[in-house]
Amino acid sequence: MTNKSILIFSILMIWFLGAASQVSTKKPNIILVYIDDLGYGDVSCYGATAVQTPNIDRLAAGGLRFTDGHCTAATCTPSRYSLLTGNYAFRSKTAILPGDAPLLFKPGTPTVASMLQQNGYATGVVGKWHLGLGNGTIDWNGTIAPGPEAIGFAYSFLIPATTDRVPTVYVENGKVPNLDVNDPIKVSYSGMIGNEPTGLTHPQLLKQKADTQHSNTIHNGISRIGYMTGGKSARWIDEEMPMVLNQKSRNFIIQNKEKPFFLYYPFPNIHVPRVPNQKFVGSTKMGPRGDVIVEMDWMVGELMTLLDSLNLAENTLVIFSSDNGPVLDDGYADFAEQLVGTHRPAGNYRGGKYSAYEAGTRVPTIMYWKGKIKPAVSSALVSQIDFYKTVAKLIKADVKTNEASDSENQLKTWLGKSRTGRTWLLEESYTLSLRKNNWKFIATVEGTVPAWFANKKVESGLSKNVQLYNLEQDPAEQKNVADLYPALVKEFQDKMTAIRQSPQKKP
């Protein structure tokens, strides 16, 4: 080789090695797709036959599908709180928040988002928030703070609470987009304001009839919880929501594709009111609930297509799961119960949303990372409470002693390199439950439960007696064997007491 050839070869090798080093050391992107009220048996890769979810099935076929994966609580706000903080919701007495609740977190509270942000990640949240906003009195016409930015999200595009609550507007980075200053928003949860029709006064305007709780201000043919006036130019259209949210998520990913990013994408589907886009109406024989499952699957497919088109799939960990178990009748007459047919939203398990039984927290849980996670099915016992420390381990971030006290590092299990999950797993509802291997313990109910809950058509699992089930022999929790295993009951009670008294300290 000539001197010139050697020089060119050396330069090319230096460039190649440098580029290879950058690829190998670039931190992975993380996307958490968080579905609302999706049951263990609501997608076809978990056994559903009345509805098909091909895009989610492809995630499962190309990744790791857990058969014993759990959210932390049987209701949404507690699950979301625990997911982001790595702390059990019962420690802060977190419950389902009303639509005008203040931010649930003290600004500066360590969260997965703040931890990732401190480690160089672009952070964003798009979708259903339901973790409170502001300090208690919100001016929806100005800057709404504190909000997601106070706990580590640099970008946010939110459904402030839930789609069945007012205000029916989006909030982007602390402001309501498309708001006309001459038509200011007013919101009340304490009594009627303005003269807009309600579900009780004008039922003829409704697309779906609703119970009394959901029969306040009507918007887009749907009556909601709470009263609202103004903001007409800013109000969402339920049927357009999947497209709006996917576009905002798409924009965030494209804008941050050159750096590591974390996208928390909590879907409004399949929470009530279930109002699918016209392209999905009639996709199933189960009515709106089945159709919004198909719509949700489409949203996932669009997201994965984008990652492939940007060549990001091989450096992106995608986590798919749900915030709690399924519910059919949750306030609107969408015929979910009447049309369910042979479909089993909870699979082989008992209960669902709100319930202490297994289907309250056992939810679809899939980890997908192209080329990094080998396709497999795992029966390891895993919980969303471990998201914090597992992600910290993934990016080699330090976690301070006061952060994520209930979270465990389960990285090997989440990546499919180990089949050993948690030894103990806590499930929250209106009581506490514990899992160890295939044993399920449900503590006695303490205090009172909300009046509205007593009227729900749900198997609560609440009892004045302790309950113990062998899920291997009795997955539907039909036979309480607590009297047959007093020593095992005591072991569970002692562990429950230890967990309640102080946070666990895990590496």
Tokens of 71: 């959210």
User: Beta partners for 479?
Assistant: none
* The two three-digit tokens of residue 433, written as one number: 């439950």
Residue with tokens 């506490």: 432
> Dihedral through CA 484, CA 434, CA 429, CA 461, nearest 10?
-20
Backbone angles phi, psi at 206, to 5 degrees: -90, 140
pLDDT value, residue 3: 57
Q: Which residues pair with 122 in a beta bridge?
A: 261
Residue 483: half-sphere exposure toward Cβ, Cα within 13 Å = 3
Q: What phi, psi does 110 have (nearest 5°)? A: -60, 130
| CA distance to 322, 421, 461, per residue, from 384 (Å) | 10, 12, 22
CA distance linking residue 179 with residue 171, whole number of Å = 10
The DSSP bridge pattern shows strands 186-188 and 218-219 to be unpaired
What are the start and end residues of each CATH 3.30.1120.10 domain in the chain?
Answer: 426-501
Location of each CATH 3.40.720.10 domain in the chain:
26-185+230-421
Q: Between the CA of residue 408 and those of 179, 264, 383, what are the distances in Å?
A: 44, 20, 9
Phi first, then psi: what are they for 157, rounded to 5°?
Answer: -135, 110
Q: Residue 398: what pLDDT?
A: 94
Distance CA 312, CA 413 (A): 23
Calculate the CA 419 to chain-centre distance: 24
Confidence at residue 253, expressed as pLDDT on a 0 to 100 scale = 98
CATH of 26-185+230-421, picked from 3.20.10.10, 3.40.440.10, 3.40.720.10, 1.10.3720.10, is 3.40.720.10
- pLDDT given for residue 15 in this prediction: 55
* 231, 268, 412 from 95: Cα distances, Å: 29, 19, 32
Quote the pLDDT of residue 5: 56
> Which is nearest to 468 in space by CA: 450, 501, 491?
491
pLDDT at residue number 163:
98
Per-residue pLDDT of the chain (507 residues; tens, 9 = 90+): 565 555 555 555 555 554 444 444 689 999 999 999 999 999 999 999 999 999 999 999 999 999 999 999 999 999 999 999 999 999 998 888 888 899 999 999 999 999 999 999 999 999 999 999 999 899 999 999 999 999 999 999 999 999 999 999 999 999 999 999 999 999 999 999 999 999 999 999 999 999 999 999 999 999 999 999 999 999 999 999 999 999 999 999 999 999 999 999 999 999 999 999 999 999 999 999 999 999 999 999 999 999 999 999 999 999 999 999 999 999 999 999 999 999 999 999 999 999 999 999 999 999 999 999 999 999 999 999 999 999 999 999 999 988 999 999 999 999 999 999 999 999 999 999 999 999 999 999 877 776 666 666 678 999 999 999 999 999 999 999 999 999 999 999 999 999 998 765 443
* pLDDT of amino acid 377: 98
The residue assigned the tokens 């178990």 is: 325
Contact by Cβ (8 Å): 352, 51: no
Helix (H, G, I), strand (E, B), or coil: what is residue 424?
Answer: coil
Q: Give, as one character, the DSSP assignment of residue 281.
A: T
Q: Distance between CA 53 and CA 284 in Å, rounded?
A: 11
> 426-501, which class in CATH?
alpha beta
Chain-centre distance for alpha carbon 144: 23
Tokens representing 344 are: 């089993």
- Write phi, then psi, for 498 (nearest 5 degrees): -65, -40
Instruction: Give residues with Cβ within 8 angstroms of 279, minimum separation 6.
Output: none
Task: Determine the 3-state secondary structure of 142 from DSSP.
Answer: coil
